[in-house]
Chain A
């Protein structure tokens, strides 16, 4: 990637950040905080996007940002009130801006229609003043940063100095000019580059030493200037001092004799040696202004008292940007280190050296360090969920618009951190759940008012750390799940037996069945995308689980429990025949040693186990994954009671439990291929590969239809 392309990429990354800031700021304003800090931050975000876009000649983006910025500037200056309608329009503008950024990023043609209706709305609001009149300002500048070429009409390289135009320049600086670090000498040098100068310095106004004020300007100059350039270019030399000096540029008809010529270098020397260095004070007669009592400006410590937009300066946390690839490589290496450390420990113990307490202590320290190192490295990938949550506010606006519902998004725990990959993979399922929440969960404003609720519905999105996992909840204050309707629909579709009596929780879980949709009319919002079964599968693929709870008239809550990282997993190590497997701890409820009288055959080689007052299917893992034949004899071993995502319980039968530990996940799909019943692999301390079991698939492969299961159970008892 060349440098320019890299900067372009930076620009788009920055756009994403600015859009996030912008949206968050507008939402804060919507909540009633219209302090100048908030408004300024919002303004700056749009301003910044416009500035960068201009440099890359993204004119559509510049044009829209300009209109948006103009409106924000009016809010900033207090001439436009940020009422609900304006903020709604501005939030819509964020969406347009975001679309324009995406379109520009992809580099295709950007349709000028994007945002046309929003611009119209702005124009209605602001008058035509918001039109981007100076879009040309950006259009005609070609940014060519790699070539620094001085061969243009205002050259810095020594131009030829032909006889040509003749000017007389009278120049008398005011004292204010020096306060801006402008120096006569730099102007003279610039003139010298453009032509031949003859400079005459008038020192007549310098007062006596006693009256001298070092900060006053006493000198003036008359310059005879011969150049091939025109008057405008000559005037441009004085551009920065305009207003800070008396300046007269007169065209002279004919070249004049340069008898008064002063060597510019000599003049410069003089000015320098006479100035109290380094300040470029123009009263160049005394070296040390010893008699001056008070300087007009007292030195001030360079700490800034809040005057403009300053706040107590919060220190900017130092950050560096690192390629994700490097971080991942580091994580991988640390993973290997963890495995190696485990192997080392195991070997030392086997060698009998454990009697040496120094060795044991060192090994223990190594283990702690490795664990700390691993946690620190994992933390690098962790990111707050805030940007993800903020993206959802756009979804809400779109769905609210399309359905005519009034919705407010409330978020909690946006600072909660979670693995970057998890965040990325969470976007789609979360989007769908939010859509569902607004579309199916919330009632129309009329229905809400009739039910005694505020017309505006609330979607709550929260994140929190709970016992080593992140729990993300999406809830609505709508009507709750219409259970009779769900049940009826499921029966009609043959998803449950016509006479099945299900508990509330079981009915709620029907929503997760493939092919289920409750909306009587499939709207173009939720209907166009996936069902809750896909949401559930995505969450499961992340090593998470999703549950649902609902209260009639009060609303529903979808709760997702996710691992903090996809790189390690806590599990128990079990033995089946001579093989070793890992079962994720999150799925495990308890472990049991079943006594033979608690195990009942169901026929066709299946067994159930009595766990206190209920029966659960007993799954012989070894037979299920095909490493040993199915046995018709009551199996023996250790039963591990697991709970799946839909809260059904099963017992997994293994030969023995060996250990409980954290394992580093190695993708089986990347290294081998997808295998039913196996989620991933890991390397154990003794160097052997162990498969991590996919409990949900194991159980669902084995699971009997509810009816069949009940029937079989009835026979046995």
Chain B
């Protein structure tokens, strides 16, 4: 019975997403990201090959990370615009039900109340995964046709992992959106708060990180103290930056999509002595970004759990 209810609710939520006008917006957003990413990929890879600035290794992955002229790469567009998908999906999840007067009709049915919020989250995650994977695979397919590059197994694995990270990252924003829609009375309040949070994470967090790091460990001149401060300054700055899911995601992607990247923290010259230059295997890259994935999943679930608890404790009255 209860599994059945969850299925009915899940189907209804998914159908709602697909039929809603929001979906047109998602479609447009995803098409923009895909098309400009594709343009950047084709032009950027060609440029890079002409000027011999990159090695011929892992060219297929460059389709996703290459930028051309002023057009940003697919991965950076995704990091910047992806959250919007999650936010738009969830910002009115509960508020709209409440203002339409459907929520109290729903909770007076013989169903557990948590099924309502769980089904919203699951349906949202399902749609996000669908959008992200279809857009990623489209880029791959067009890139394949356009450039004739044949992806290696390792590249496919890295691409798959990247899309999984994308899904979790956008899922975090979905969970945050559902949280705000639960605690805010109006959909507009919830949307504005979320956009403010997104702006803060994407722009102001890195500014603040720089300011804090410089204030605590100033790096000026050539004296001994500055040299000691330098590494602490960088560590603190990245540390603060990593509180923002935007930075966390960007960092994880740069490791995943670039096998040549070997470290995420500041490393001194002495630590590099004797290291053999070479690419990391997929497993080693994943090991490097495992904490990132864990942190993002934890953030996502924390948001969802707070939303869940506050939804369960709310008294649902008519509009």
The finding on whether chains A and B are genuine partners in a shared complex, rather than unrelated, reads: no
Query: Which residues of B does A touch, CB under 8 Å?
Result: none
Query: Which residues of A does B touch, CB under 8 Å?
Result: none
